[in-house]
Amino acid sequence: MISLVNLLILFFILLIVYQIFLACFDNIVEGLENNQYQPYDTNNPQNAMILAQQNAGNIGVLKQQIDGVMGLNKQVQDLSGNVSTLQTQVNGIVGAQSQYVSDMKPAKISGAVPATPATN
C-alpha cells in the first residue's frame, strides 16, 4: 500500500515537472495576451493614410487597456482604505499588549524552598 509520504513526494514531483513544462512551452507574456496592436511600416512614405488608420486602431486598443486599468482604480482605493484601517487596528492591539505587559508585576511566591542541585 502506498503511504501518505510517498503520495506527497509523487505530488510534489508532479508539481515541479508541471512548472518546468510551463516554463519551457508556455510563452505567454503577462499583459500581452491581446494581439490587436499593429506595428507601423514607416519604410513607405506613400502610405500615410494606412499609418493614420493603424494609429487610430492602436489608440483604440490602448484606450481599452487604460479603461481596464481605470476599472481597477476603485478596487485599489478600497483595498488601500482596508489596509489603513487594519494597520490602525494592529497598532491598537500592539499598544494594548505592551500596556498589559508593563502593568504586570512579578508574582510573589511565599514558602518556596530554593532548589538544590541534584547530586548523583
The model's pLDDT over 40-87, given as tens digits with 9 standing for 90+, comes to 666 766 677 777 777 888 888 888 888 877 778 788 888 999 999 999
Residue 83 placed within a domain: yes
Residue 109 placed within a domain: no
- Residue 4: HSE in the Cβ half-sphere, 13 Å Cα cutoff: 0
This prediction's pTM: 0.36
Gap between the Cα atoms of 11 and 2, Å rounded: 13
User: Is 114's pLDDT higher than 70?
Assistant: no
Gap between the Cα atoms of 95 and 91, Å rounded: 6
Domain that residue 73 falls in = 58-90
Residue 107 placed within a domain: no
Residue 82 placed within a domain: yes
Residue 47 placed within a domain: no
**pLDDT, position 29:** 55
The secondary structure of 58-98 as a DSSP string is HHHHHHHHHHHHHHHHHHHHHHHHHHHHHHHHHHHHHHHHH
Residue 31 placed within a domain: no
Structural domain count of the chain: 1
Residue 65 placed within a domain: yes
Residue 98 placed within a domain: no
Contact 51, 42 (CB under 8 A): yes
